[in-house]
Structure 1
Amino acid sequence: MAANITILCDFDASKRPRPARLIAMLKDIYTLNVIAKEYTPIAGVNCFSFPALPTAKDRTPEQNQLIASHCQNGAFEQLIFTPNRLLIRDHLASLPPQQLLIVEDITLLPFALEYRAHYKEAKVLIDLREYYPLEYENSKEWLKSFGLFFQHLCAVYLPQVDSAICVSEGIARKYYENFGVRSKVFLSLPPFFALEPTPLHTPIKILYHGFVSPDRSSENLISLARKLPSEYALYAMVLSNQPDFFRSLRESAPSNLVFLPPVRLESIVPFSNAFDIGLVPFFPTTFNLMHCLPNKLFEYLQARLCILSTPLSEIERFVSIQRCGVCAKDFSIDSLLDSLLLLSREEILAHKHRAHELAQAFSMERNTAEIRHIVAQIIAQ
């Protein structure tokens, strides 16, 4: 009989690449339940939802002050067991006993541990998608409020998990150093697509896709576009939760920076195949960015693109070992541009073909066997 597994998400799981793919990898062999905030129904999965609280831009000054007060006074349970999330208890109680709870957001970890306290056979696996205590480290206000909250969650609840997976070696090391929690690196890999590298375009087509924000040094897209020779064109398929910043970015863009409408998650890779170079332009403005191995890196690879990146530690190591692109010598737009211009057309095409050689090895199919093995081991403990 298939084991019962519940995945807990503090967001719409179907719209985030990592949890969406985790669900796809597990739903065919386990009885899978997803309890998520504002979920989209998923075929083959029992889905339950709980309502959202106001986001930072929707909260009143009084609400923000109350949150900051709770954090500074150590009243963290007021932020964990909020009225909207108490529905999680009801959803879990309505299910048959669960053998495994997978936590996709650390704010929901206390609910999983609470469940395990009543059902001793249940295990708890957490997916550490970033280093939470430094999620918005550039904001002093955040560090004095939610930063304290996430520090508390990591110090008190994280050491109680049965197992953990993590997105990169650097982030995994930080969790071990600060909280004594060991985690296995589990890469964020997209499904395999039977694509071929496209012939090199004229002008050469560079793609950036993902979120844009000040923390992500997204102004770099403008700076790079302004310095690109006419032999190159830069495309940005982006989203932002900061409308004013996004508007400013678009208004200041030169003509060779083309903004594209976003496509659905499952269409990102085949859409990206029509480009030549996949760009990662981040500066190490945060710990999480310095140590990221983002979804886009592997989506570019799956799309058979040459990788061009700033020298973020994990990406630089990956690109060097796999020989699938180039990284700048330092964190400057001039260095990024120099690395691009040193690539001949033949070298860019060779990197695209190298991505083709790596596509099967760095696909969700590889991850499927790995996560199923991890889950089976945890359940059997």
Structure 2
Amino acid sequence: MTGPRSLLILSLSPLRSDPRVLKQITLFRDKYQLFTCGFGPAPDGVAGHFELDIALASWPRDPQRLALRRYVDVYWNIAAVAQARKLLRGQRFDAVLANDTNTVPLALSLEPKHGVHADLHEFAPKEHFNKPAWRALVAPYVRWLCRTYLPAARSVTTVAEGIAEQYTKDFGVAASVVTNAAPYADKQPRPTGEKIRMIYSSAGQRYRKIEDIMEAMRGAPEQLELDLIVMPNEPAYVAELKALGEELPRVRFREPVPYDQLVDTVAEYDVAISIIPPTNFNLAHALPNKFFEAVQARTGLIIGPSPAMETLLRRHGLGAVTADFTPAALVEVLKTLTPQLVDEWKANAHAAARELSSEHQIKGWEHAVDGLFARQEA
């Protein structure tokens, strides 16, 4: 071999703001000749980038072909896939890291010498299962996509144990787990004052029921304050939340911050709330970025009874679990908060920060991608 081996990281997402993909880029850019393909400008430190128009759809908008189950045509006519295919035509890579099921057929079509590793950020067949039209038209297509292409990937990772088990059960692929852990932050816990400051950050999507978090503040003790950082995914919904916030004097909204500033922002607070109602399969198995960001920020955590989060929280003593996902259950936990209890949670987060950091977790990707080359060279 005359030069470094080439690796393409492929994702139909804005690469410079996708936390999971950015971790992959940071991990591999000094190890391989790294190329990227995704929405928006090139990430830092890559050898080359194939930029996709961020206005292009990354999922099918073709109800007629979906209804007729002309799934091959459906896939290759997705606007972002079609542009990526055109940009990548004639390119040769030693290996491809394909993010999410919607890039796996494209990655395989490039015929990389050492194969494809698929990193699946959700359980794709049930991603929007709460929407009847998606369930009727798109879900059968996604199941076909998984059934047809995932077995051809040489290795697979996903974000949580329950999702990995479902991929194995439904499609026979062995998936290992790489969580959405945040990079290790060299911080010390900040002592909790008499005022206990809480933070909730989330995408602004109605199915997350953010209003329930806010409503709990009506019954919360006077020494508690809540700030929210809500992305404007659904502007009308976010406007409703802000109108509700006008009725709640101890609730404030903050502007979203870049990903690389999020841990520092969370570290200004004493407790992070990570309650995610199980309104679909993926949310029921959620182990989200914000859980790990709170650990690196050395804040306590309050979560709902989501199995993946609850396992880690109880193992490390990171915070409290509500009895269910209702505002009343959150109020009951909020009534137990004292500076002393929160300081215990912060100390436990500090003790667990290295183990729960991305530096520990991303070894799963390193093992998988290195394994592509090792298998071919053996």
SS of equivalent residue, structure 1 residue 86:
helix
Distance 1:41 1:292 in 2: 27
Structure 1 position 169 matched with structure 2 position 165: no
The residue aligned with 2:135 is: 143
SS of equivalent residue, structure 2 residue 13:
coil
Note the C-alpha offset of 1:32: 0.6
The residue aligned with 2:40 is: 38
Note the C-alpha offset of 1:291: 0.4
Structure 1 position 287 matched with structure 2 position 284: no
Distance 1:368 1:141 in 2: 36
Structure 1 residue aligned with 2:146, among 135, 154, 178?
154
| Contact 1:325–1:351 (CA under 8 A) maintained in structure 2 | yes
Once structures 1 and 2 are overlaid, which stretch shifts more, 150-159 or 241-250?
Answer: 150-159
| Contact 1:50–1:85 (CA under 8 A) maintained in structure 2 | no
Matches within 5 A, 1:173-184: 173-184=165-176
Note the C-alpha offset of 1:279: 0.5
The residue aligned with 1:89 is: 85
Note the C-alpha offset of 1:225: 2.2
The residue aligned with 2:187 is: 195
Partner AA of 1:346 in structure 2: Q
Distance 1:74 1:327 in 2: 44
The residue aligned with 1:260 is: 254
| Contact 2:12–2:39 (CA under 8 A) maintained in structure 1 | yes
Distance 2:107 2:145 in 1: 13
| Contact 1:203–1:232 (CA under 8 A) maintained in structure 2 | yes
The residue aligned with 2:210 is: 218
Note the C-alpha offset of 1:123: 1.0
SS of equivalent residue, structure 1 residue 35:
strand
Distance 1:370 1:214 in 2: 33
Distance 1:273 1:322 in 2: 19
Note the C-alpha offset of 1:26: 1.1
The residue aligned with 2:22 is: 20
SS of equivalent residue, structure 1 residue 195:
coil
> C-alpha deviations, 1:296-350, integer Å up to 9, x for none?
1000100001110010111111111121111112232222221232243211101
Note the C-alpha offset of 1:145: 2.3
The residue aligned with 1:363 is: 357
| Contact 1:220–1:281 (CA under 8 A) maintained in structure 2 | no
Once structures 1 and 2 are overlaid, which stretch shifts more, 305-314 or 224-233?
Answer: 224-233
The residue aligned with 2:101 is: 106
Structure 2 residue aligned with 1:273, among 267, 281, 296?
267
Partner AA of 1:366 in structure 2: H
The residue aligned with 1:346 is: 340
Structure 1 position 332 matched with structure 2 position 326: yes
> C-alpha deviations, 1:240-277, integer Å up to 9, x for none?
31110110111111121111011111110011111000
| Contact 1:35–1:91 (CA under 8 A) maintained in structure 2 | no
Structure 1 position 376 matched with structure 2 position 370: yes
Distance 1:375 1:309 in 2: 33
Structure 1: runs of 5 or more not aligned:
none
SS of equivalent residue, structure 1 residue 270:
helix
| Contact 1:206–1:275 (CA under 8 A) maintained in structure 2 | yes
Partner AA of 1:217 in structure 2: K
Change (3 A) 1:84 1:238: closer
SS of equivalent residue, structure 1 residue 199:
coil
Distance 1:42 1:194 in 2: 23
Partner AA of 1:234 in structure 2: L
| Contact 1:5–1:99 (CA under 8 A) maintained in structure 2 | yes
| Contact 1:310–1:327 (CA under 8 A) maintained in structure 2 | yes
> C-alpha deviations, 1:65-98, integer Å up to 9, x for none?
xx22221111222332125533433443454x32
Note the C-alpha offset of 1:235: 0.8
Structure 1 position 71 matched with structure 2 position 73: no
TM normalised by structure 2 equals 0.92
Q: CA RMSD in A?
A: 2.0
The residue aligned with 1:124 is: 116
Partner AA of 1:132 in structure 2: A
Distance 1:9 1:298 in 2: 22
Aligned residues: 370
Note the C-alpha offset of 1:151: 1.8
Distance 1:329 1:114 in 2: 48
| Contact 1:278–1:300 (CA under 8 A) maintained in structure 2 | yes
